[in-house]
Amino acid sequence: MSLLRAAGVEFEIVEYLKHPLSLSELHSLSKKLGMHPRDFSRKGEAEFRSQKLQSAPEDPSVFFEAIARCPKIMERPIAVKGDRAVIGRPPERVLTLLE
């Protein structure tokens, strides 16, 4: 976020751990990222393993529902601008949205 502030970019922080995203918001985010929801899941989280997602079918709805139930398994931070999104690791990746 300090990179965005330094660039003079205004942004809004969505605390999705406190306010989980809806299924339609997760679908939209997946499209903006250009990624299957499995690919923006934190596979090392205990909740990911307890839901047996490591062996789940490739059906995106399984992952959307799991993330909606337990937002902690979604990668963070994710930056969104218009119809594009990136996972902010490393933080410099967020700057690609400004191009």
Sequence spans of domains, the chain: 2-98
Bigger pLDDT: 22 vs 8 = 22
pLDDT at 13: 85
Q: What is the pLDDT of residues 22-47, one digit of tens each?
A: 999 999 999 999 999 999 999 999 99
Bigger pLDDT: 3 vs 16 = 16
Query: What proportion of the chain, given as a percentage, has pLDDT over 70?
Result: 99
User: According to CATH, what is the number of the domain 2-98?
Assistant: 3.40.30.10
pLDDT at 1: 65
Statement: residue 17 has pLDDT above 70: yes
Q: Output the pTM of the full model.
A: 0.89
Tokens of 32: 């903006």
